[in-house]
Amino acid sequence: MLLEVANLHHAYGPQTVVAGLSFALPRGAIGCLLGPSGCGKTTVLRCIAGFEAVQEGEIRLNGKVVSRPGGALPPEKRRIGMVFQDYALFPHLRTADNIAFGLHGAAPGERAARLAELAELVGLADVLEKYPHEISGGQQQRVALARALAPRPELLLLDEPFSNLDVDLRERLSHEVRDIIRASGATAILVTHDQHEAFAMADEIGVLHAGRIQQWDVPYNLYHRPANRKGVERQPARDRARRAAG
Report pTM.
Answer: 0.86
Domains of the chain: 1-80+209-232 (3.40.50.300), 81-153 (no CATH)
The average pLDDT across 180-209 equals 92
Interval 67-104: pLDDT, tens: 999 899 999 899 999 998 888 899 999 999 999 998 88
User: Could you tell me if 24 and 1 are in contact, meaning their C-beta atoms sit under 8 angstroms apart?
Assistant: yes
Burial class of 240 by CB neighbour count within 10 A (0 to 12, 13 to 18, 19+): middle
pLDDT digits (tens, 9 = 90+) for 204-235: 999 999 899 999 999 989 888 888 766 555 44
Percent of the chain past pLDDT 90, that is, above it, reads 62
Cβ(172)–Cβ(141) below 8 Å: no
Summarised one tens digit per residue, pLDDT across range 4-15 is 999 999 999 899
